[in-house]
Structure 1
Amino acid sequence: MRVFIAGATGATGAVGSRLVPMLVASGHEVVGSSRSTERLAAIEAAGARGVVMDGLDADSVRNAVLDARPDAIIHQLTGLREQVGDTKHFDQGFAATNALRTRGTDHLLAAAAEAGVGRFVAQSYTGWSNERTGGQVKTEEDPLDSNPTKASRETLAGIRYVEQQTTDAGGLALRYGSLYGPGNDIGRGGEIVEMVMARKLPVVGGGTGVWSFCHIDDAASAAAAAVTRGAPGVYNIVDDEPAPVSVWLPEFAHAIGAKPPMRIPAWMARPLIGEHGVSMMTQIRGSSNAKAKRELGWTPAYPSWREGFRTGLG
Structure 2
Amino acid sequence: MRVFVAGGTGVLGRRLVPQLIARGHEVTATTSGPANLDVIRRMGAEAVVMDGLDAASVGEAVAAAQPDTIVHQMTSIGGKPDMKHFDRWFATTNRLRTEGTDHLLAAAEATGVAHFVAQSYASWNGIRTGGWVKTEEDPLDLHDGTAAQQSMEAIRYVEEVVSKVGGAILRYGWLYGPGAIDSLVGPVRRRQFPLVGDGAGYSSWVHLEDAASATVLAVEHQASGVFNIVDDEPAPANEWLPFLAECVGARRPMKVPVWLARPLGGEVAVRVMTEGRGFSNAKTKREFGWKPSYPSWRQGFREELA
How far off is 1:129 after superposition? 2.5
Q: Deviations over 1:110-166 (max 9, x none)?
A: 111111111110001012321111110000001121553521110011000011111
- Give the equivalent residue in structure 1 for 2:258: 266
Paired amino acid for 1:26 = R
- Give the equivalent residue in structure 2 for 1:87: 83
Paired amino acid for 1:24 = I
**TM-score, length-scaled by structure 2:** 0.97
Distance 1:21 1:230, change over 3 A: same
Distance 1:148 1:296, change over 3 A: farther
- Give the equivalent residue in structure 2 for 1:31: 28
How many angstroms apart in 1 are the aligned matches of 2:93 and 2:143? Answer: 21
How many angstroms apart in 2 are the aligned matches of 1:207 and 1:40? Answer: 43
Paired amino acid for 2:95 = A
Residue of structure 2 aligned with 1:183, choices 179, 183, 198: 179
Aligned counterparts, 1:157-306, within 5 A:
157-185=153-181, 190-229=182-221, 231-306=223-298
- Give the equivalent residue in structure 1 for 2:2: 2
CA contact (8 A) 2:210 2:293 kept: yes
- Give the equivalent residue in structure 2 for 1:20: 17
CA contact (8 A) 1:196 1:253 kept: yes
Q: Deviations over 1:177-197 (max 9, x none)?
A: 001110112xxxx12111111
Q: Once superposed, what is the RMSD of the aligned Cα atoms?
A: 1.2
Q: Deviations over 1:49-74 (max 9, x none)?
A: 10010000000000000000001110
**TM-score, length-scaled by structure 1:** 0.95
CA contact (8 A) 1:230 1:295 kept: no
Residue of structure 1 aligned with 2:39, choices 29, 39, 42: 42
SS of the residue aligned with 1:240? coil
How many angstroms apart in 2 are the aligned matches of 1:233 and 1:6? Answer: 20
Paired amino acid for 2:265 = I
Paired amino acid for 1:172 = A
How many angstroms apart in 1 are the aligned matches of 2:171 and 2:185? Answer: 23
SS of the residue aligned with 2:198? coil
CA contact (8 A) 1:231 1:295 kept: no
SS of the residue aligned with 2:119? strand
Q: Which runs of 5+ in 1 are unaligned?
A: none
SS of the residue aligned with 1:157? helix
How many angstroms apart in 1 are the aligned matches of 2:251 and 2:80? Answer: 23
How many angstroms apart in 2 are the aligned matches of 1:128 and 1:248? Answer: 13
Quick one: percent identity of the two aligned structures?
56
Residue of structure 1 aligned with 2:75, choices 75, 78, 96: 78
Distance 1:22 1:313, change over 3 A: farther
How many angstroms apart in 2 are the aligned matches of 1:241 and 1:94? Answer: 27
CA contact (8 A) 2:195 2:238 kept: yes
How far off is 1:228 after superposition? 1.4
Aligned counterparts, 1:94-133, within 5 A:
94-133=90-129
Q: Deviations over 1:168-212 (max 9, x none)?
A: 111001000001110112xxxx12111111111111100011010
How many angstroms apart in 2 are the aligned matches of 1:172 and 1:125? Answer: 13
How many angstroms apart in 2 are the aligned matches of 1:312 and 1:25? Answer: 23
Paired amino acid for 1:41 = D
How far off is 1:312 after superposition? 2.5
Paired amino acid for 2:245 = A
How many angstroms apart in 2 are the aligned matches of 1:65 and 1:206? Answer: 48
Count of residue correspondences: 306
How many angstroms apart in 2 are the aligned matches of 1:272 and 1:300? Answer: 36
How far off is 1:231 after superposition? 3.7
Q: Which runs of 5+ in 2 are unaligned?
A: none
